[in-house]
Structure 1
Amino acid sequence: MPTKHAVLSASSSYRWLACPPSAKECAKLPDTSSEFARQGTDAHTLCEFKVKTALGQKLEDPTKSLTYFDEEMAECTDEYAQFVMECLAAAKVSCKDPLIMIEQRLDFSKWVPGGFGTGDCLIVADDTLTVIDYKHGLGVLVDAEKNPQMMCYALGALNLFDGIYDIRRVSMTIFQPRRDNVSTCTMSKEELLQWAETVLKPAAELAAKGEGEYKAGDHCRFCKIKATCRKRAEYNLELARYDFAVPSTLQDEEIEA
């Protein structure tokens, strides 16, 4: 059975926040799973197993069923499980009994119509909510600073726990071992909620209706309609014009001529 994807997913939020109408256009096209995505899915399966095992759960080892398992994946997922357990140990210093949840479905539809996703790891320790996301990718270095995917996940986690815990801070970490990248962004709950109301929600409402302006930029990289997008073609043409702009002063060969 194919996995259900949200039209306004957290993983594509970087794109639809910048270019709201692209969301509905992309939703019209079928999902295509790359080898890199399937490799990432296998790595996440192994991450989940190793963390839950470290937490004392008895589970069947999925390694033999993984298509893309190799020694590098084994090492990366070991590092991730160790990192999560270190974060949990650090949380226990200030909180007697922190809550940890693995592969938790998160609903942020309060701000994004139909918005949901899955948090790799959540740790709630009194006034601090920690969200950790594993990235197996090697091609793109992922930064946690003001990362909209992580902020959507944090909002979904707040939706679950804010009435139970007096959360004041949110810490969001990208763990990307193949790039030796551990990136963390921490913000106050108020700052996150202000972003949700003033930036996320208005853009999501436009995106859900297929409205707003098309805008080209770095966010086009993983867009399904980039090959036929007029705005992107105009953007690339403008870049080309800039690259080949006639210099304001004559070159030596022109002076000689």
Structure 2
Amino acid sequence: MAEERKHALLSASSAKRWINCPPSARLSETFPESTSDYAEEGTLAHDICELKLRKLFIEPGMPEKTFKTAHNQLKKHGQYDPEMERYTDEYVDYIQKIAYSYPVPPKIVIEKEVHYGHVARDGYGFSDCIILSGTDCHVVDFKYGKGITVSAEENPQMMLYAVGAIAEYGIVFPVERVILHIVQPRTKNFSRWELSASQLQTWSEQTVKPAAELAWEGKGDFRQGSWCDDCFCPAAGTCRFRMEENMAALQKHTDPITGKMIPAELLTNGEIGSILPFLEFAAPWIKKVRAAALDKLLADEDVPGWKLVEGRSNRELPDPDKAYAALVEAGYKKALFYERIPVSLTEAEKLINKDDYNTILMPFIVKPKGKPTLAPKGDKRPPYQKDTTPQEDFGGENQYKEEEKTC
């Protein structure tokens, strides 16, 4: 099971950040390590995955009693939810499909500490699952979170895991093909990306190595980007560079003295398009600044001009049955206070097994067309079509099923 792990300065999980913003590595060192309920929930789900894979591939002779004892111990965790079983089973099924696709049982390692110090000083990370067979190297990462959809394509974390795996096992397995997988079952995200071992080596030498040297020395240029929030940079809300860059962008459209918007004719489409990328960075930055201010006030520090007040709360009935029983006793009809409504689709999924979901419930499910939303031109989703048929929208009945079968 996963133990308390110390993160490397140039960790794989934060690689997207320190590759793009090298000074952030040393800057992050000045912050204490923190955790959250979401992080603990993810760690627990990973522990369940590890136990199931260990029984299946690493210790196939594990007595059922030993497995159940360990499993029951994990269930006692405060973050445990029965739905974890279904999602972790999906991950295990995904690993099985890869493993069973080879005529000879491949080498499988789980929760493996991999080192890539030859391209990033003292660099290491923990890979969820590595599968090696012949000239193939699969790196699979389980993501339990559902807030950010993670892609395997050009994913620095996954690529560094692969660099470390090849460094350790390359003598036995002459890897030519590297396949990266993200399994994020709660968002139904199963992402796969492939590159050659030579492409991976070129990337590690030309992109990682120079960035890692700068990051280790605390040098290089600060750069704002999605990595500020995707990689949970601890300085995201108090970073001076980020503040100055965002405020400078705002000043382009305001009077530098009064701060008021400069009266002018309406913005052109081109000007609107030029402002939107800034908003993509500014919106999460504003949230992080507010969160940083709240943390400081909660720690009894002074933030000039601001104070803590009690937020809005809603009235509650801690025991509605008891309250309504009193009303019924007073002469009201019980039917007034209770209504029979079907559970949500999400709740129904938790109540039934995967086979019944696919064979019984699936035929009744429809997915309405989503409302149009803004996205950059480079977004991989197809452009929104105003008038299309369901078949055109979703690509046929078995489109997603076929994609999930691919390993």
TM-score by length of 2: 0.58
Residue type of the alignment partner of 2:171: G
Say whether residues 1:198 and 2:200 are aligned partners: no
Question: Where does residue 118 of structure 2 map in the other structure?
Answer: 110
Q: Point out where structure 1 has 5 or more consecutive residues left out of the alignment.
A: 252-257
Question: Where does residue 79 of structure 2 map in the other structure?
Answer: 68
Question: Where does residue 189 of structure 2 map in the other structure?
Answer: 181
Say whether residues 1:234 and 2:267 are aligned partners: no
Identical columns (%): 37
SS of 1:103's equivalent in the other structure is: strand
**Kept after mapping to 1: 8 A contact 2:139/2:161:** yes
Q: 1-side partners of 2:7 and 2:242: how far apart? A: 25
Offset of residue 3 of structure 1: 2.5
Offset of residue 246 of structure 1: 5.7
Among 25, 42, 53, the residue aligned to 2:27: 25
Residue type of the alignment partner of 1:161: Y
Among 17, 31, 46, the residue aligned to 1:15: 17
Residue type of the alignment partner of 1:125: S
SS of 2:100's equivalent in the other structure is: helix
Offset of residue 167 of structure 1: 0.8
Question: Where does residue 5 of structure 1 map in the other structure?
Answer: 7
Question: Where does residue 255 of structure 1 map in the other structure?
Answer: none
**Kept after mapping to 1: 8 A contact 2:253/2:262:** no
Count residues with an aligned counterpart: 248
Question: Where does residue 53 of structure 1 map in the other structure?
Answer: 55
**Kept after mapping to 1: 8 A contact 2:151/2:182:** yes
Residue type of the alignment partner of 2:39: A
Question: What is the root-mean-square deviation of aligned Cα atoms in Å?
Answer: 1.9
Offset of residue 236 of structure 1: 2.2
Q: 2-side partners of 1:86 and 1:242: how far apart? A: 54
**Kept after mapping to 2: 8 A contact 1:42/1:67:** no
Q: Segments of 4+ in structure 1 off by > 3 A?
A: 238-251
Offset of residue 242 of structure 1: 6.4
Matches within 5 A, 1:22-171: 22-55=24-57, 56-58=60-62, 59=67, 60-61=70-71, 62-90=73-101, 92-93=102-103, 96-171=104-179
CA gap of 1:243–1:142, structure 2 versus 1, over 3 A, is: farther
Higher strand share: 1
CA gap of 1:242–1:75, structure 2 versus 1, over 3 A, is: farther
CA gap of 1:239–1:159, structure 2 versus 1, over 3 A, is: same
CA gap of 1:110–1:57, structure 2 versus 1, over 3 A, is: farther
Offset of residue 196 of structure 1: 0.2
Give the greater-gyration-radius structure (CA): 2
SS of 1:109's equivalent in the other structure is: coil
Residue type of the alignment partner of 2:237: A
CA gap of 1:213–1:70, structure 2 versus 1, over 3 A, is: same
**Kept after mapping to 2: 8 A contact 1:102/1:122:** yes
Q: 1-side partners of 2:234 and 2:201: how far apart? A: 30
Q: Alpha-carbon deviations, 1:11-41, whole Å to 9, x = none?
A: 0111111110110110121100111111100
Residue type of the alignment partner of 2:247: L
CA gap of 1:226–1:250, structure 2 versus 1, over 3 A, is: closer
